[in-house]
Amino acid sequence: MKKKRKASNFFEEILSIPRSSGNEGNISQYLGKFAETYGLEYEIDDTFNVIIKKPGNIPGNNEPIILQAHTDMVCTSTIEYDFLNQGIDWTLEHGYYKAKNTSLGGDDGAGVAIILAILADDELVHPPIEAIFTTQEETTMNGAKNLNYKHIHGKRLISLDGTEEGTIEVSCAGMASFEVWTSFQLESSKGSTFELSISGLMGGHSGVDIDKNRGNAIKILAHILSEIEDIEIVSISGGTKENVIPSDAKCIFHSCKDFSSKFEFLKKYYLVQYSGIKIHLKRLDSISMAMNNEISRSIITYLNLIEDGVLVKNDVDSPITSSNLGVIRTNSDKVIISQSIRSSLVGYEDFYLGRAEGVAKECHLKFKQGDKKPFFTYKEDSPLRKLLVNKYQELFHKNVTLEHVHAGLEGGIFAYEIKDLDICVIGVNLYDIHSVNETVEKKSLDRVFLWLSEALKCMK
């Protein structure tokens, strides 16, 4: 019998493996070697999804239980970091894992680690397990979309992609992405050259943190730029991912007029609004070429007009529809803006996509709709949810919170592909996911492993 290994042991190994979205080959190989070590059936597909199956040991013809997590992570940092070839430089402080100047990848490395600990435990009593490790969840969800569902037979699924221990996510929002862009040619410009930068905001997940008033650096940048009448943009950039609230943004521009008083007023305003925000304006050596004022104003006007943040709330004041102005970047001849809309209401995504397209048209910018990810709805009769609730209360003497999540989850795709699926999403205590402040509570890994393993014993 192999030595038992804790979920934290696996988590620490996973942290050493580069696994940005679209770069999951190494983590897939790791999972394949794990399966071989423990004598388990497995397969790796062309998208680097991994399915590992473990026979059950409960007497009777038991239905399989699907355990699921995604292997990729959001990569963001405050320093130059080679996420393609380097694992995470992490520390353990006062019982919490954290990274040094980068995101940690607890979402969803913690979920992967718990499932591996379950599969590695030869003493655990459980039904047949179909463990699914998907890829590209943080970007396109192509892993879940391209999974061969003919190889999956379970009708109940526990996803380990949650963000708070003792909470079961029972529904999720869908998400639609889109891009807005304009072409430009640099022209001769005689104005003084300035650089305006916004930094120090908290950022965060555009679903989980959208209602926490963390500030959007691109929106703040655009508001300040709108006060400069004769502006001619050289370049503009901000944000990292369409599903991450941007914590920094920067614009290099020309201007011939004095806007110092307006700038100082707005700087003081935002310093009061957001703790930690840094707003810097500096003069640069003259740059002779820039976009003309008409294109510059179109970009700035769009950034100011486009809806961002919570758009619709439910009767308990939680977001059910929102928009995130996630990224703006300047290429050699284009300015491209990437955004996303989330909703758990039928038709609302299309409604707000239409509004965004209208704003783009008004500002003479081009619009292109991207990928759409489905949502899953609350299931009134869920034996799986009932079992998980009862087990958590029995083990820890605490009530379980049922949460309708304002984030896109792969559960929406699984629910679409597997009819009559009973699905619950659980997870460990994660804080500030998708940011450089991300932390994972080590003891929570052990508690959620215990919760899941005890629930598995009672499944028929």
pLDDT of 343-393, one tens digit each?
988 789 999 999 999 999 999 999 999 988 888 888 899 999 999 999 999
Query: 282: exposed, middle or buried (C-beta count within 10 Å: 0-12, 13-18, 19+)?
Result: exposed
Confidence grade of residue 2 (pLDDT, cut at 50, 70, 90) = low
Task: Give mean pLDDT, residues 64-84.
Answer: 95
pLDDT of 428-450, one tens digit each?
999 998 889 999 999 999 999 99
2: which 2 tokens? 């192999």
Q: What letter represents residue 406's amino acid?
A: H
pLDDT of 98-108, one tens digit each?
999 999 999 99
Q: Hey, what CATH topology would domain 7-165+375-457 get?
A: Aminopeptidase (3.40.630)
Tokens 């599969």 belong to residue: 119
Domain ranges in the chain are: 7-165+375-457, 176-372
Task: Give mean pLDDT, residues 279-306.
Answer: 96
Q: Helices in 38-105 by DSSP H: which ranges?
A: none
- Across 296-441, the runs of DSSP E, i.e. the strands, are 309-313, 319-330, 334-343, 366-373, 401-408, 422-425, 430-431, 439-441
What pLDDT sits at residue 32?
98
Confidence grade of residue 1 (pLDDT, cut at 50, 70, 90) = very low
pLDDT over 60 (residue 183): yes
Residues with Cβ within 8 Å of residue 275, at least 6 apart in sequence: none
pLDDT of 214-254, one tens digit each?
999 999 999 999 999 999 999 999 999 888 999 999 999 99
How far is it, in rounded angstroms, from Cα 195 to Cα 165? 43
Q: Domain 176-372 maps to which CATH number in 3.30.70.360, 3.40.1020.10, 3.20.20.140, 3.40.50.720? A: 3.30.70.360
